[in-house]
Structure 1
Amino acid sequence: MAIKMKTSVTLAIEATCYGHSVAQVRTRDLAQIIDEPCERDGTNLGFTPTDTALSALAGCTNTIGHKCAKKLGVDIGNLKISVKCRFNRLGVTLTEEIDVPFEEIDLVVVADGSASQDDLNKVAVEVAKYCPLAKLYRRAGTIINEDWQLAG
């Protein structure tokens, strides 16, 4: 009898917050600190919430990229991922409500494997279909400009 994969699961995060900026966030047996820099009255012990959101996109691009490459039989090797975002700060400064605070993201992915540029482009198309973080940003109205390149 085949085991049926669950199609929907519950993800759980708990945060213990110390003051206005430091949050110790836990999931499974892991913990991380989310904080603000000193110039915003934080203690600079971790990424800001917005840094954390952008780093999740990089991590998801890596994971889903490797899954898609494997499915396609493409050697992408190791990836170097750069995420740069035009962020509208009017919301976080409480100046005005902003519908799309992450306005535009430039996502550059450099692969050092033996894949051709054509094969790398095929991986990029698949990643856009399956990366939940990219889908989250796009559906929120964020423009993501992706540039998948070969190293060297």
Structure 2
Amino acid sequence: MAIRQKSQVTVRMRGTASSHSHVEVAVRDLTAEIDEPVERGGTNRGFSPTETAYAALIGCTNTIGHKCAEALGVDIGQLGFEMEVDFDRRGVLLQQEVAVPFTAIRLQVTADGPASAEELDRVAAETAKYCAISKLFEGAGTKLDIRWRRN
């Protein structure tokens, strides 16, 4: 018998800060470190908060992309990612409030499987419908340009 997953859940996380820039975050039985680079007063023991947000888009695109490909019966193989983010840093520098700090994100997704360009377009379209992190960025006003191609 298949387990029916809940459609609405509450996620609980904990964080413990050891300095002004370093925090250890726990969820489930896992921990991650978020920190700033040394040149910004951190200890460089983890991604910065903004880098963590960008990385989440890559992770979500990978996971949802593979789920969509499987549902469509498309073999995308393994995915590779190249990302560029246009980041208006005036807000984090406390110079000015910025409504859309991440003005644009360009993400190139490369599939090494046998899927055709048309099949990848279908997977990309389905992934765009369901990736929670891309929805988060779009809802915040970020211009997303996510392109899929064969390796």
- State the SS of the aligned residue for 2:141: coil
- Relative to structure 1, the CA distance from residue 41 to residue 128 in structure 2 (aligned partners, 3 Å threshold; closer, same or farther) is same
Match of 2:25, SS?
Answer: strand
- Partner residue, 2:81: 81
**Moved segments of 4+, more than 3 Å:** 1-5
SS at match of 2:42: coil
**Shift of residue 4, structure 1, vs aligned partner:** 4.9
Identity %: 52
* Counterparts of residues 63-142 of structure 1 (less than 5 Å): 63-142=63-142
Offset of residue 5 of structure 1: 3.5
Distance 1:85 1:74, change over 3 A: same
Residue identity matched to 2:139: R
Provide the aligned length of Structure 1 versus Structure 2.
151
Unaligned runs of 5+ in 2: none
SS of the residue corresponding to residue 118 of structure 2 reads: helix
- Give the equivalent residue in structure 1 for 2:21: 21
Q: What residue identity is the alignment partner of 1:112? A: D
Find the aligned partners of 2:2 and 2:79 in 1 and give their Cα distance.
Answer: 35
The amino acid of 2:92's aligned partner reads V
1:53 corresponding residue in structure 2: 53
Between the aligned partners of 2:57 and 2:11, the Cα distance in structure 1 is: 17
Q: TM-score, normalised by structure 2?
A: 0.97
What one-letter code is carried by the residue in structure 1 that aligns with 2:32?
Answer: Q
Q: Secondary structure at the match of 2:98?
A: coil
Deviation at 1:81, TM superposition (A): 1.1
Cα distance between partner residues in 1 of 2:2 and 2:58 = 34
TM-score normalised to the size of structure 1? 0.96
How far does the alpha carbon of each residue in 1:29-60 deviate from its partner, in whole angstroms, 9 at most, with x for none? 11111000000000111100000000000000
Q: Could you list the runs of 5+ residues in structure 1 that have no partner in the other structure?
A: none
Give the CA deviation at 1:96.
0.5
Secondary structure at the aligned position of 2:144 is classed as strand
RMSD: 1.3
For 1:99, what is the secondary structure of its paired residue? coil
* Residue 8 of structure 2: aligned partner: 8
Deviation for aligned residue 1:3: 6.2
Provide, for residues 82-105 of structure 1, a one-character-per-residue CA deviation record: whole Å limited to 9, x for no partner.
Answer: 221000000000001001001100
- Rate the CA distance shift 1:104–1:33 in 2: closer, same or farther, 3 A: same
